[in-house]
Amino acid sequence: MTELGSAPVPAPSPEDHIAGPVDAPLVIEYADFECPYCAAQHLRLSRLRLRRVFRHFPVRSSHPRAWAAACAAEAAALQDRFWEMHELLFSDQGRLEDPHLWERARELGLDLERFETDRRSDAVRDRVRRDFQSGVRAGVVTTPSLFHDGRLYAGQLDAAALLAVSAGGSA
């Protein structure tokens, strides 16, 4: 049985998707590719010098294609194209149906057959679910949510929080 009781947010591990300079301020993001606030926050964060850890937090009742998009990103990760797919998903949230996902996979030069098998596999679903569950345990209740310097920022960061995060300190 899965344990979903309270637990601290897991530290970054080799299992995670991590981007940015090692010495930059660290942020751990919980986000959903169908969430417009997540796309907006992604744009803002991409202008800052940060080390970003991305974790999935798809909620299907509000975003019916969130799981499909998360699994597509994981399938791309299996062909070493996670961040490219991450960018393509956030840049066009109105198009997340299957043919749109295939189009992105083609654009990235992925092995389409493998992409298709992977994104529907239990392993990929479990991978997304693990992220979601670690978020639940750490008290994530909405997207986007971001952990920085031991603090949880729920929802979009305001100007003061953005400043604090990019400076590597607490607000």
Interface contacts to another protein, rule CB under 8 A: 1-7, 59-62, 64, 132, 136-142
Nearer residue to another protein within complex by CB, 25 or 58: 58
Residue the block writes with tokens 């194209």: 81
Nearer residue to another protein within complex by CB, 60 or 114: 60
Q: In what order do the strands lie in the sheet with 51-56?
A: 17-19, 51-56, 26-31, 145-148, 151-154
**49-to-75, 99, 103, 135 alpha-carbon distances in Å:** 27, 34, 30, 24
Nearer residue to another protein within complex by CB, 64 or 169: 64
Could you tell me the smallest distance in angstroms from the CB atom of residue 112 to another protein?
Answer: 30
Nearer residue to another protein within complex by CB, 113 or 122: 122
Strand, helix or coil for residue 48: coil
Could you tell me the smallest distance in angstroms from the CB atom of residue 58 to another protein?
Answer: 8
Distance CA 133, CA 130 (A): 5
Nearer residue to another protein within complex by CB, 57 or 115: 57
Distance CA 126, CA 122 (A): 6
Does residue 101 contact residue 119 with C-beta atoms inside 8 Å?
Answer: yes
